[in-house]
Amino acid sequence: MNTSRGTNCELGLNQTHGGTNRDKTFTTSKYDDVLAQNMVMALDKAIRKEQRTETGEKAKKYQIFYYKVYYVKYVTLYIYMFMVFFEVPSWCLTNSNIKDRRRCDPDVYPNSGIPKLPHYISRLIELICLFTLLFFTFFRRTFRKLTKLAKSRELIQTILTFASVIDIMVALIRSNSPYISHFIRILLIVIFIRGLREALKRIALVIADSKEILLMIISYIILFGWVGFRLFRGTQQGEAYFSSLSESIWSMMVLLTTANFPDVMMLAYNINRAYAIFFIIYLVFVLFFLLNLVLAVYYNNYRTRVDNTISKFMSIREQFLQLKFQSHDLENKGYLTQREFKSMITDLFELNLQAVKKTNLNKIAAQFSHRCRGQITLEDFLQYFEIMDFVSLDNQISGSVALKVNLRRRRVKKIVTNAFYDLLMNVIVALNIVSILAKDMGEMFSEKNEHLMPWLITQLIITWLFLAEMILICYGFGVLKAFKRRNHLKIEILFQIIILSAFIYYLVSLETEVLIRYQEIIIILRGFRLMKLFNEIKQWKIIIRTISSLIKPFASLLLVSFVFFLLFSLIGDRAFGGLSATNSNVVRDQNIPDTYIEMNFNDIANSFVTLFTLMVVNNWHVIVLMFENITGTIWTRLFFILFYFFSVLVILNILVALSIDIYSSIESINSQNEKKDREDPTNEDDLVSESFTSLSQVCNKYKTTPIKDSTPSDEEEDEFFFQQKEKEDKEEEKEERKEEIKETKQSKLKKSPKIQDSHECSESNCHEPLLK
């Protein structure tokens, strides 16, 4: 069947993707498309590098060496990022009253208690990290084409690196000298991590696009602050919260977070109940309209920026594939043969330094050749590529082709995928939880713990059962595939290590207290096993999948949050470090609890905890009041207002919006799958089959002719890979026979010069009959 675009391959899908509307022409199969999936995912990486990579053998060798030692760059970068937690704070170096500079006198100046590296050692480590990262930057020039922006970035990096080196040298000579290399470190981290740069750029553009709503919120706060100042002037309420215009605005700013409500209202409310209207109007409008509007505007602008980036890359990708296709169509015939197509795929993978096995390459080329009747056009390849992108499974299917199937594994896999087996394991989990609850309620044990040992032996047996389950699943599916399909195994292997370590420690010590601690560890860890049952409940399953889908976008936002936290921690170290002390007047302030002295900026780890507490905004105004009393100036508030703006109004709002979007998408897909399951009860509920079922559903929605639903069972999948393995072995045997025949004939030709002379031919002509 042919398309209106004149393609040779079978049709099945019409779908708009990436700003283009093209007929999708392939009937996808879970088996045939596994290799194509992996190639497509690697191809995207290749396209990103192709325009920036030099050609030539020398450049290729440098590139191969660079990626072989690439892990050294990331290890160095992580050390450079996180060593700040083990460095002596700057205030501690300049304070002459400090006796223990490695711990900064924690009895007087409360801090995290993390041991700090000696000053000169931390500076030397920083120097090593800086020069290592600079080496990778300049070495990349040997094979990478640099744009003007990249050259500017490298220049900035070099200047910042040498500025940091000079600052470190001065700090080594004068140990009590404050250093600025910490702030330079933040800029270098942003320069080195491309994903971080892109995320920060998008957030900056989102803030710029949303400036109107931000100005509206600021104006709203100032307006009600002025009204409150005029309304309560001369009253007890005014003296407490509205004594001046700046105090009025600050009170309304805190009320925006509801941290001081209803305290801020009660004095006026006791005088006249009508005063409550002022606060109610302010909160209703700001909470139910303005802040929700900020959430919507931020998310809309953020998604728009992301979609624009994706659309731009889709356009670049299509142009790239067209050029590659034309370069391999040497005769300008408008299509590629199977051999030319194999050459193009190999060329694409070499850009990303991906090793393509000959057998896998033959499979994907034969697949295209069969579907396209020996003539693979550009339109065919682009259509197939977009289907693969549309049902992108990321790494869910990686490792499937490499799985060597035998009869014993198939039997084990059949057992662990049986519904009765799942029910049995869930019953064991439920009984285990019931026994733990019974123990906690005191229904099974006396106060002397006389039945503690039998209970622990029972729990140990259950732990071994879970270990056996994990081994069976890994054996049946293969280790990589098992950990990707069964998420609870990742947690279970951690539990097994902890429980086994605690049991060995008890056998060594043989103490009753250790035994009691051991059973507490078992109770806590086995309680987490209950989470596996959550996956059996429909709505909880959607929530779990939403959380899993949030990991990748949350990781980029988490990195952005880390940079912001680090920046504000360093500012707090310079502004408030060493001011929070146990002998301070703050501990005697009746409005501030004594324990709040622990919320300080005396080291970086403590600063992170303080900033996280501020991000939660519960009693954050009390912490602000504490630092305001310490510094003696109201300008301290500006630091905390800026942090609230970036952490809560921007990053958390984007994260909440993404959660809502992903949850709604997953719930929609789940509803479609349930509808499909009612129509086809044999459909499996796993990630791979769901994705291809979704593809089939979309095909049924947009196509003109039906597409075959070929979702296989696990047994059929194993049988397929088993057959493929046999075919590969036969092909290898044939190749070996051909090589033996070739070597035999060449040896005969060498022994008979006359025959050799009479059969002169080129290498290609001589080899051709043998290959045939």
Q: What is the mean pLDDT of residues 53-70?
A: 78
Q: Is pLDDT above 50 for 17? A: no
Name the nearest CA neighbour of 258 among 232, 282, 223: 282
Higher per-residue confidence, 407 vs 133: 133
Taking the C-alpha atoms of residue 565 and residue 165, their distance in angstroms, rounded to an integer, is 24
HSE-CB of 503 using CA atoms within 13 angstroms: 15
At residue 760, does pLDDT exceed 70? no
- Find out whether 335 and 329 touch, Cβ atoms under 8 Å: yes
Give 690 or 101, the one with higher predicted confidence.
Answer: 101
* pLDDT at residue number 277: 92
Q: Do 294 and 337 contact (CB within 8 A), yes or no? A: no
pLDDT-wise least confident of 233-237, 309-313, 387-391: 387-391
Q: Rounded CA gap, 263 and 269, in Å?
A: 10
Q: Of 405-409, 490-494, 682-686, where does the model show the most confidence?
A: 490-494
Q: How many CB atoms lie within 10 A of CB 215?
A: 10
User: For 394-449, what is each residue's pLDDT tens digit?
Assistant: 333 333 333 344 566 677 777 777 767 777 777 777 777 776 666 666 544 455 55
* Length of the chain measured in residues: 772
pLDDT at 702 over 50: no
CB-CB contact of 770 with 741 (8 Å): yes
Place of tokens 């600050």: 250
- More confident of the two residues 631 and 53: 631
Band (pLDDT 50/70/90 cuts) for residue 203 is confident
| Residue range 17-28: mean pLDDT, rounded | 39
* Minimum mean pLDDT range among 104-113, 341-350, 509-518, 551-560: 509-518
Average pLDDT value over all residues in the chain:
71
Report the C-alpha gap between 327 and 563 in whole angstroms.
Answer: 45
List, in sequence order, every residue forming a beta bridge with 23; answer none if it has no partner.
14
Q: Which of 367-371, 620-624, 653-657 is predicted least confidently? A: 367-371
pLDDT of amino acid 757 = 42
CA dihedral sign, ordered 736, 737, 740, 742: negative
What pLDDT is stored for residue 160 in this prediction? Answer: 92
Q: Is the dihedral of CA 497, 503, 508, 514 positive or negative?
A: positive
More confident residue, 696 or 316: 316
Distance CA(627)–CA(599), nearest Å, equals 10
Convert the pLDDT of each residue in 152-184 to its tens digit. Answer: 888 999 999 999 999 888 887 776 666 788 899
**Over 191-225, what HEC string results?**
HHCHHHHHHHHHHHHHHHHCHHHHHHHHHHHHHHH
The per-residue pLDDT for 31 is 34
Q: List Cα–Cα distances, 321 to 25, 325, 330, 385, in angstroms.
A: 17, 6, 15, 10
Angle of helix 512-528 versus helix 419-440 axis, rounded to 10? 140
The span from the CA of 633 to the CA of 600, in Å, is 17
Please say whether the dihedral angle defined by the alpha carbons of residues 268, 269, 273 and 276, taken in this order, is positive or negative.
positive
Most confident of the following: 45-59, 413-427, 553-567, 693-707:
553-567
Give 385's pLDDT tier (boundaries 50, 70, 90). Answer: low
Top pLDDT among 375 and 222 is at: 222
Q: pLDDT tens for residues 523-552?
A: 666 666 666 656 556 666 666 666 666 666
pLDDT in tens, 451-487: 566 666 777 777 777 788 778 877 777 776 776 666 6
Phi, psi of 356 (to 5 degrees): -105, 115
Higher-confidence residue of 597 and 469: namely 597
pLDDT at 315: 75
User: In angstroms, how far is CA 552 from the centroid of its own chain?
Assistant: 3
- Which residues are bridge partners to 24 per DSSP? 13
Bridge partners of 20, per DSSP, are 17
Q: Is 0.85 surpassed by the pTM of this model?
A: no
